[in-house]
Amino acid sequence: MNEKWIEKNIDDFAVEPNLIDYDKEYQRFSWDDMACGFDGLPSGGLNIAHEAIDRHANSELADKTALLWLGQDGERKTYTFAKMKKETAKFANVLKKLGISKGERVFTLSPRLPELYISVIGILKNQNVICPLFSQFGPEPILQRMQRGDATVLLTTKKLFKKKISPILDELSELRYILLLDVDEHENEKVLSFSRLMDEASDIFEILHTEAEDMSILHFTSGTTGMPKGVVHVHKAVYTHYMTGKYVLDLHPNDIYWCTADPGWVTGTSYGIITPWIHGVTNIVDEGEFDAVRWYKILQDEKVSVWYTAPTAVRRLMRIDNEPTKEYDLSSLRLIQSVGEPLNPEAVIWGEEKLKLPIHDNWWQTETGGIMISNLISQTIRPGSMGRPLPGIEAGIIRQNEDGTVTEISESNKEGDLAIKVGFPSLFRAYLHAQEKYDKCFVGDWYISGDLAYKDEDGYFWFVGRADDIIKTSGHMVGPFEVESTLMEHPAVAEAGVIGKPDEMIGQLVKAFVSLKSGYEANDELKRELIGFGRKKLGVAVAPKELAFQENLPKTRSGKIMRRLLKAREMGLPEGDTSTLED
């Protein structure tokens, strides 16, 4: 057995995990059985808003804190499930009074304010489609998404409206209303005050019959490989949200849960809004951006027990030379999960050493709507692996054949396309207005993820890279993630991004961009040392032949290193869509 594997002992858990026997649960699991655990609407059908808020407000959980909001400047606001039911009902009535009918798209462009979270549930109550935008977007990416998404209503703040919406307003001909979250009076017939509308609205709202297949959420992909695509999800996706909350996040009634993702991204809605509330769990929302001291204090002061964050944040914490458990009381924390891009093995080990908990990686996409493959709390962790498929999810490594068919690769440790069998509830139903692109994602009954991976002899999946990131060098196929992870084993390296650089002799050479931990100086001696380190670990064929130091690697706000941007800058090519680029 690999000495780096992290074994689990059930007797060591203060809270017994929801899933203990993986093989047994995987074999017996049924989506039909999972569906039986939901209330359903009194009027019939299935609606996410009812399952997340109203059914708890109608139960013994009515007075339990649903939302704990932490303002940037120290303000705190709490909302019980009962209060959330009333506030979200008000907003549903606002939309109804404005004549916003079933299926129409309501966009949000806002910082992480309580009104944003209230609005999301209210939108779903009125059978509208929630379309979250990231508040750091500029006017052009906002315009692209609102035009493609047929925007009817936009919720935003006065500052964002003036700065980002006013310049493009004439091009949004279908937009009927703009609701400003932070003004007291209407500006005109189209630009209205959210608070005034809410003051005038009833706090009683009956959700009408909603079909499980009705559209619920429209997310846009990050645009790192082209123009953003509108990914359509339906109310039935809530089954996956519940299952993954139970087995991956291991949510229990008394948990205090914190997901650091912004609702502008799929993680921030699926796991920052829907999943904790489906489980009746207290959900923390922090208005502030990343700050190590602030984050550690939130974990300590709010007694967070389950924490879902991103590799970028973990690597930022790793840069700090401190002992978190000696400086802060993190004794309430029992599970850390990470998503956004593959988590390097060093980060998993760092969590165990510095936080006294390993960091569990998992894999999914905007298109899958929920977690598909994960390292579960009760199971052995193989650092660097994305884990094993969840109950109800069939994953495979496949090869696409020239005749349009696929062959599932049965051999262990053989690279191929990572694919998921269709049939799970949260699989996207369309790319809006792009049927041809949607159809290309499927071969037979497989959804082709666009990621390359392999499966080991025990069923653990290992990420190799995006299909379009793979480096072909001297006849070898090199996955950038493997090279990046190896470089991060060196004590000087905080982050690494690897690309293939065109070369006449060998096709592409492997080039690494490295950011250093504090206390290390970027110089030629260290560069030679790192290249030698890579050759020793990876071999000459795979190791970087060139290496450059860069203080901050370009990343999307969801935490993915933008290798295509590194490549474009290296080759002097157009950078393309940078709307998702982290500051």
What would the two tokens of residue 96 be?
């109804």
Total number of domains constituting the chain? 2
Cite the DSSP H helix spans in 354-490.
435-439, 480-487
| Helices and strands per DSSP (H, E), number in the chain | 20, 28
Same domain, yes or no, for 330 and 355?
yes
Q: Is there a single domain that holds both residue 507 and residue 442?
A: no
Q: Is residue 358 part of a domain?
A: yes
Do residues 165 and 151 touch, judged by C-beta distance below 8 A?
A: no
In terms of domains, do 389 and 278 share one? yes
The two tokens of residue 56 are 């708890």
Position 509, amino acid? L
Report the alpha-carbon distance of residue 124 to residue 518 in Å, rounded.
46
Residue with tokens 């977007």: 137
**C-alpha to C-alpha distance for 496 and 490, rounded to whole angstroms:** 11
Q: CB neighbours of 356 closer than 8 A, spacing ≥ 6?
A: 325, 330
In a domain, residue 298? The reply is yes
18-29 b/e with 16+ CB inside 10 Å = b?
bbeebeebbeeb
Q: Which residues of 50-63 are buried (b: 16+ CB within 10 A; e: fewer)?
A: bbbbbbbbeeebee
pLDDT recorded at residue 5 = 92
Question: Does one domain contain both 187 and 304?
Answer: yes
Report the pLDDT value the prediction gives residue 479, as an integer from 0 to 100. 72
Residue 342 lies in a domain: yes
Q: Are residues 449 and 483 in the same domain?
A: no
Last residue of a domain, which of 455, 485, 504? 455
Around 252, how many Cα atoms within 13 Å sit in the side-chain half-sphere? Answer: 14
The structure tokens listed for 3 are 């000495």
pLDDT tens column, 422-441: 999 999 999 999 999 999 99
Query: What pLDDT sits at residue 578?
Result: 60
The CA-CA-CA angle for residues 405, 409, 415, to 5°, reads 110
Distance in angstroms (rounded) separating the CA atoms of residues 493 and 514: 7
Q: What is the pLDDT of residue 224?
A: 40
Nearest CA to 319 out of 530, 553, 520, 494 is that of: 494
CA pair distance 266, 365, nearest whole angstrom: 8
Asked if 433 and 545 sit in the same domain, the reply is no
Whether residue 484 sits in one domain with residue 363: no
Return the pLDDT at 503: 81
Structure tokens at 532: 């030698």
Position 136 scores a pLDDT of: 78
Report residue 510 as tokens. Answer: 């492997």
Predicted local confidence at residue 225, as pLDDT: 42
Give, in order, the Cα–Cα distances in Å from 457 to each of 379, 413, 451, 465. 16, 7, 20, 20
Q: What is the DSSP string of 462-478?
A: EEEEETTT-EEETTEEE
The per-residue pLDDT for 223 is 46
Angstrom distance (rounded) from CA 90 to CA 94: 6
Q: Which residues of the chain have pLDDT under 50?
A: 1, 223-225
Pair 423, 522 in one domain: no
Residue 506 confidence (pLDDT): 74
The token pair at 479 is: 């996955």
Taking each helix axis as running N to C, give the angle between helix 311-319 and helix 292-301, from 0 to 180 degrees, rounded to the nearest 10: 110
26 falls within a domain:
no
Please report whether residue 292 resides in a domain. Answer: yes
Residue 471 neighbours by CB under 8 Å, 6+ apart? 477, 478, 479, 480, 498, 499, 500, 508, 510
CATH number at residue 130: 3.40.50.12780
CA distances (Å), origin 527, targets 121, 523, 546, 547: 51, 6, 9, 7
Same domain for 446 and 474, yes or no, is no
Residues 267 and 408 in one domain: yes
- Residue 354: inside a domain, yes or no? yes
From 32, 195, 17, select the one nearest 115 (Cα to Cα): 195
Domain encompassing residue 267:
48-455
Is residue 294 classed as helix, strand or coil in its secondary structure? helix
Together in a domain, 474 and 416: no
Instruction: Identify the domain boundary among 424, 455, 486.
Output: 455
Please state, in angstroms and rounded to a whole number, the distance separating the CA atoms of residues 577 and 233.
Answer: 24
**Among 431, 473, 577, 570, residue whose Cα is nearest residue 512:** 570
CB 467 within 8 A of CB 481: no
Note the pLDDT of residue 1.
Answer: 40
Q: Does residue 33 lie within any of the structural domains?
A: no
Tokens 């793979």 identify what position? Answer: 470
Residues 285 and 217 in one domain: yes
Q: What is the CATH number of the domain that holds 500?
A: 3.30.300.30
What is the C-alpha R_g of the chain? 24
Report pLDDT digits (tens) over 307-331. Answer: 999 887 898 899 898 999 999 999 9
Look at residue 429 in the predicted model and tell me its pLDDT: 98
Residue the block writes with tokens 């923390």: 284
293 part of a folded domain: yes
Q: Which of 420, 455, 490 is the last residue of a domain?
A: 455
